[in-house]
Structure 1
Amino acid sequence: MFVSTFLLTALTKSPAHFPTRLLGWLLLSAGIAYAWAGFFHIVFPHIAAASIGWQVSPFQFEIGVADASIGIVAIVSFWRGLDFKGPVVGYLSLFSIGVAYGHVREAIYAGNTAKDNFGLLLVITLIHAVLLPILYVLARKNGCHPAGNGKDR
């Protein structure tokens, strides 16, 4: 999904709208991924914990609800303007930094190199943390508002 966002954005007819379109597709992609992760933490905690190299914990329900909630809001933001996307970008970026820190710390101190703790998902999380705010600033700078008339009312 992450790679497809770049391919779909590359098909954009107007290069001036590239940052805005990439922002939208990345938010949609991240939203689906977070909603999916939330679903697994809530419904299949043993599978989710095992894939990260952790033990099942009561806190998984809470992180599952947080993941699912921001995932749904990020999905909705795909069809909304930049005024809606801004807070979603802020939350996802800050949350991603925290998640990445936790996973790196686990790898260093606990030797947890499980694929979903210290692998491709960590890289994508870090990319989201950095790229989403950059794209948001570029989209604001270009004055692009692809959703409807671009105004959130």
Structure 2
Amino acid sequence: MIGFFIVALSIVLPLVHLAVTKRRAPGAHRAHPAALCAPHRVGVMGFLFGFIPHVFFPDEAAKAIGWSPSPFQFEVGVHDGAWGVLGFLCLWIGGLFWLATGLGWSLFMLGAAGGHVYQTVTAGNYAPYNFLMIFTDGFVALWLLLLLYLHYRCGGMRGQGES
């Protein structure tokens, strides 16, 4: 499933980045793995795996989640697409933009994971894109929050212009 591939990338890319930059740059620059996690997780997942399926293939997306098609899928798709754009913008803007994007996306994903838990418990919905998303959405949201915290602890995001 694509969610587990994204989880793996969320772990591997920042760790590889840390290993490579550890030799070259001390301090805050080593903690930039948040920059790798935000663009690929928020950008790719938000835009490619949220926006496109919900906006252009709503019946198939609803079926994979175990839901009936709904007009709200368009709104969810546009919401995911907006976050996707923010994730990709992290590549160019950096700094506190990572924090805002990471916090917002993580809170949204934790809320989505909670909704999937609720659907699993109350409706017995074990459809792959409902049940398995509990783990992928929840884990990557917490991982991104941890990376942002570590970046802050290493001296990143202290000033408005920091990138």
Partner of 2:105: 92
SS at match of 1:113: coil
Structure 2, unaligned stretches of length 5 or more? 1-5
Q: Given that residues 80 and 152 in structure 1 are in contact (C-alpha distance below 8 angstroms), is that contact kept between their aligned partners in structure 2?
A: no
The answer to which structure has the higher helix fraction is 2
Partner of 2:161: 151
Distance 1:11 1:77, change over 3 A: same
Identical columns (%): 29
**2:161 is matched by which residue type in structure 1?**
K
Structure 1, unaligned stretches of length 5 or more? none
Q: Distance in 2 between matches of 1:152 and 1:142?
A: 13
SS at match of 1:143: coil
RMSD: 2.1
Partner of 2:9: 4
Partner of 1:24: 35
Residue deviations 1:2-56, cap 9 Å, x none? 32343333333223544322x1221122220111121110111001101101000
SS at match of 2:68: coil
**1:27 is matched by which residue type in structure 2?**
A
Q: Distance in 2 between matches of 1:28 and 1:2?
A: 13
Partner of 1:74: 87
SS at match of 2:32: helix
Q: How does 1:69-148 map to 2 (within 5 A)?
A: 69-119=82-132, 121-144=133-156
What's the TM-score once normalised by structure 1's chain length? 0.85
Q: Distance in 2 between matches of 1:89 and 1:25?
A: 11
Q: Distance in 1 between matches of 2:56 and 2:144?
A: 29
Shift of 1:110: 0.6
**2:45 is matched by which residue type in structure 1?**
A
Shift of 1:57: 0.3
What's the TM-score once normalised by structure 2's chain length? 0.80
Farther off after superposition, 2-11 or 101-110: 2-11
Q: Given that residues 103 and 117 in structure 1 are in contact (C-alpha distance below 8 angstroms), is that contact kept between their aligned partners in structure 2?
A: yes
Q: How many residues align?
A: 147
Structure 1 segments of 4+ aligned residues over 4 angstroms from their partners: none
**1:2 is matched by which residue type in structure 2?**
V
Distance 1:55 1:28, change over 3 A: same
